[in-house]
Amino acid sequence: MNAKQSEDSGCGSQATAGAQDDNLDKTLSKITNKLIVMSGKGGVGKSSFATNLAVTLAAKGFSTGLLDVDLHGPSIAGMAGVTGLLDVTRDQQVIPKTVGDRLKVVSMQSLMRDPDQAVIWRGPAKTGIIRQFIADVRWESLDFLVVDSPPGTGDEPLSVAQTISGAKALIVTTPQDVALADVRKSISFCRTVNLEIVGLVENMGPFACPCCGETVELFKSRGGRVTAETMNVPFLGTLPFDPQVVKACDEGAPIAASGNGGAFVEALDEVVQAVVGRM
Amino acid sequence: MNAKQSEDSGCGSQATAGAQDDNLDKTLSKITNKLIVMSGKGGVGKSSFATNLAVTLAAKGFSTGLLDVDLHGPSIAGMAGVTGLLDVTRDQQVIPKTVGDRLKVVSMQSLMRDPDQAVIWRGPAKTGIIRQFIADVRWESLDFLVVDSPPGTGDEPLSVAQTISGAKALIVTTPQDVALADVRKSISFCRTVNLEIVGLVENMGPFACPCCGETVELFKSRGGRVTAETMNVPFLGTLPFDPQVVKACDEGAPIAASGNGGAFVEALDEVVQAVVGRM
């Protein structure tokens, strides 16, 4: 891709904790809006939504960064169509991959030589690597940073929330009860760690049969809206289920960039406008 | 439910690590087959499969336990239709809830007074609680223990794998590439920690439109079978997508127990027979 090798010189020594804090402040100070995309439960389409959100923001003219800090199941690089390992400068700064004119992508995936290797991180090691990974990326100025956080309410989302000061949360769910039970935990988590919630997005909504047009509720319906109202969180909209979204993510060609995404892309655009309006 | 308060007396003191190991050995020695249901990625229907597997094993006449050790998103109690808090004896042993004649259920959910509260566990605390939770359950004799492990390859599945000696893994995936990338990590994880793999189950397979009968591949197709063959792991079968499975789990009435599950239950029965044949 377009990432160029830096000419900066560096001493090559390990950054101290203090230097890392300086790096972190410097990195974050250049970013206007920081969004952490979260879900209580895995498999609700969080990474796919984060990717399509970042692509849409870039298409709207915002300079946008997309960061994946999922240590166990990083998938953003593949979904955004980014291949190869990331370049690292001599002073240990990570250079994002660029996609199109305004989107920069950094994924844990792009630091692993063997993508099938299971990285068995214990808790404290995770916190350190997440902090370092956010501090040491050379984003330059960004209008939006979209962070795809690991699901749940454990070490990883906690480290992300504590590291990115001034960030706001976007919570993704599917409509069924078992996902909503976990979403209520996510909302309680955000409130516990003082993370402002931009709103709730309901993914995998109604599916229209491509043969007869019948609408089927694969994962039930309206649960996201009702939960948002009950928990007093803004509801940002429902995205319909479309197998093309799954396929497009697998192929590294996000549907938001295809110019041909039908009802899903229309609904996504409304959600993104709601997000921008709330920043 | 049928769980009765124990009359055992106990000193009420904290169990020492040694006593906990004794408890663990005693608990596990009474269980013939231990199955850990895993997934690389969340949201592939792992908990739903674990519940339906346990219900089917019990229906086949096996005395079966179903244990949920997902600290952040426990869902087994709700799916199995178990309500209320678990009874704990005076010597701190947990009494499983019983469902029907041969199924006993223990879920982290049934220990939490406020189900919407996010429990922000740090890594080392997780390992301790998981170990304790497995050691301190009074299962009595079981033909099968089905453990619903948290997704991924982090602290939690590692603690589960290390705590339950002699356990074997069942890996659940959906057919799309982004899930399969994580499944390859799960397989590598099992091999790293010497956990024998019984096989791979492909969930959320083809969906038949209830209106016109058209079959739609919601999450692509055949990815599970191909991955199993490539990674040299037994392939146990594909379960079709059926919104009734989602609905039944939300309602705490697993479809395997309904006597009216159509193609899903037929496919599930073949998978369960394959599992039993491999123990």
* Alpha-carbon distances of B186 from A46, A136, B64, B137, B173, rounded to whole Å: 20, 29, 25, 27, 10
pLDDT level of residue B120 (50, 70, 90 thresholds) = low
pLDDT the model gives residue A56: 97
Mean pLDDT of chain A: 87
Q: Which residues of A touch B222 (CB under 8 A)?
A: none
Count, in order, helices (H) and strands (E) of chain A.
9, 12
pTM: 0.85
Point out the least confidently predicted range of A51-60, A140-149, B122-131: B122-131
Nearest to B65 by CA among B24, B25, B36, B26: B36
B217 in contact with A at a CB cutoff of 8 Å? yes
Q: Would you state the pLDDT for residue B43? A: 86
Tell me which chain B residues have a C-beta less than 8 angstroms from the C-beta of A159.
none
Indicate if the alpha-carbon torsion angle B128, B131, B133, B137 is positive or negative: negative
Per-residue model confidence as pLDDT tens digits over A115-141: 676 666 666 777 787 888 888 899 989
What pLDDT sits at residue A22?
A: 83
Average pLDDT over residues A208-228: 93
Q: Which ipTM score applies to this complex? A: 0.82
Tell me: pLDDT of B177 over 90: no
d(CA A42, CA A221): 18
A vs B, Cβ pairs < 8 A, gives: 196
Q: Considering only CA atoms, which of A219, A173, A183 is closest in space to residue A44?
A: A173
Structure tokens at A181: 């039970």
Mean of all residue pLDDT scores within chain B: 87
What does the pLDDT read at residue A106? 92
Q: What is the per-residue pLDDT for B91?
A: 86
Nearest residue in chain B measured CA to CA from A223: B250
Per-residue pLDDT, A16: 60
The whole-number average pLDDT for the span A134-153 is 90
User: Would you call A276 exposed, middle or buried from its count of C-beta atoms within 10 A (0-12, 13-18, 19+)?
Assistant: middle
Residue A123 in contact with partner chain B when CB distance is under 8 A: yes
Which has more pLDDT, A71 or B48?
B48
In which element (H, E) is residue A50 found? helix A46-59
Q: How far is B9 from chain A (nearest CA, A)?
A: 36
pLDDT of B36 > 70? The answer is yes
Residues A5-23 have pLDDT tens digits of 333 433 444 446 677 778 8
